[in-house]
A and B are shown apart, each in its own frame.
Chain A
């Protein structure tokens, strides 16, 4: 009988991806789909959800930015240390058409890199707009290039690629090319712009939402969004752009661990 108990795994390998961003690789066949997440458990410390950033028949990985108490703790772990995983949970991305654009901001590039790998296997032409604050925070550029994925880099400060936001590049892209679908993960305000652009141009679009989660499997109610009560953990985290725009709190506010509203 399936139970929601963590499977404890050794961290096989840790890769320094960028400044304060690490990828943790596990020797375990996860069988997840791009966009799904796992709950990562540090025994006696805490547990948080993370998207899968890489997967093959024998391995999977999550990519973590060390920005808070949990991720700092995670980043202090070493190869060989034990952590638990629960999942994979949630809905995955749906690949549509022959020519797609991925728009990633910061660590949001993680699930998109996994999606890009799957799209290439299906012979879909992938254009990946990788957004980062600075050159030091840039993710997966070499990995994507190796897979012959067309990459376009934007940095907020212009330290690498085009200076500006990923959405500026997307706007340009959608005007000059025939695009079948757009997939985005990153800061919510960025994703909202992506969703609005795609809606205006009638282009299929999917996003990956993030909300405070406790259980991860649809019962605690902590990640539910206004007004529909959309459960990010089970109804999401992947959502169609137009559906996301109908959620009152999308791009505006979220709820914290107590359930109190917090402005984004």
Chain B
């Protein structure tokens, strides 16, 4: 009832552990899979080892969560090992997230991570937390986003999803550009903002990076709108990510046009078994409303 397909890869259910959450090690990814995730995504892996920002890296507020982990990564060799280890121990599809600071390096990272044979590669061109380091987002410019996509596509035979940022004036334009450049799918969206929380007693921003990407409830309506816009523009599948914590949120995202849904901060709000919970809630809704499969739901909000 809940199965779905992304570029020919079958998922038992549409919930995917989003990148950046519990994704540092194979063991942790397997823990998410054992708790019901239909697929899992690694934390973004870079060629070089990176420590990320100092703590605090995550803070929550009434409307969700703000994070600036700063793309910590054990480096490509260790990243390959973790993906291989996951493949050895689990049948759940794994998406390897990669990022780089230069366009050419994305190709190298894609080529290297392909050695571990992940089921999909997700290209993170939209992390808002390292702008000071890397300058403008790759995802903010259609031409740049397309050229990263093209380089990655030329470096691997594994299907490539490009993760877009909601912090752009016209996401349709970016989506169209990455599709034209050969992307096999789109993950929408990365965190919004960036936002900031200041401690008023010390008058200091709490996050060490001062600002960070917003996820959770505040991001959800923005993510739904982005997915809705992208679905109208491209033919490739979309992983809809942003503030999904329950079955209702997941169904909403599917109706906007997502083929599968990413869950990240939901792990904090409902525990690591959030995947199982969301799945049973989707199923309950489908039975009540008479839906037989996800195909009947995906993109339904676009019908007049």
Contact = CB atoms under 8 A, between A and B. Distances in A.
Interface in A225-264: 225-229, 231, 255-261
Contacts of A220: 21-22, 24, 57-58, 69
A43 interface: yes
B19 to A, nearest CB: 11
Given A47-B56, A259-B25, A229 B73 contact: no
Interface string A152-192: 00000000000000000000000000000000000000000
A4 interface: yes
Nearest to B30: A229
A226 B56 CA distance: 25
A46 B24 contact: no
A157 to B, nearest CB: 35
B220 interface: no
B49 A255 contact: no
Contact of A227 (B27, B54, B57, B58): B27
Nearest to A213: B55
A221 B43 contact: yes
Interface residues of A, number: 39
A193 interface: no
Interface string B6-31: 00000000000000011111111111
B265 A219 contact: yes
Nearest to A69: B54
Nearest to B21: A219
Contacts of A229: 22, 25, 27-32
A258 B202 contact: no
By size class, the interface of chain B is 35 or more
B234 interface: no
Given A4-B59, A84-B202, A225 B27 contact: yes
B57 A215 contact: yes
A44 to B, nearest CB: 5
B43 A259 contact: yes
A1 B201 CA distance: 19
Contacts of A5: 59-61, 197, 199, 206
Contact of B74 (A6, A45, A226, A258): A258
A8 interface: yes
Contact of A221 (B23, B51, B56): B23
A258 B201 contact: no
B208 A260 contact: no
A37 to B, nearest CB: 13
B78 A259 contact: yes
B81 to A, nearest CB: 9
Interface in B112-142: none
B206 A259 contact: no
Nearest to A256: B51
Nearest to B58: A215
Interface string A70-97: 0000000000001010100000000000
Interface in A30-69: 39, 41, 43-48
Nearest to A1: B62
A221 B58 contact: no
B21 A6 contact: no
A193 to B, nearest CB: 24
Contact of A214 (B55, B73, B206, B268): B55
Given A82-B202, A257-B52, A258-B51, 10 more contacts: A3-B60, A3-B62, A5-B206, A8-B199, A43-B202, A44-B208, A221-B28, A229-B31, A256-B51, A259-B78
* A-B pairs with lowest CB-CB distance, top 5: A229-B31, A47-B55, A224-B28, A259-B74, A221-B22
Interface of A: 1, 3-6, 8, 39, 41, 43-48, 82, 84, 86, 214-215, 217-222, 224-229, 231, 255-261
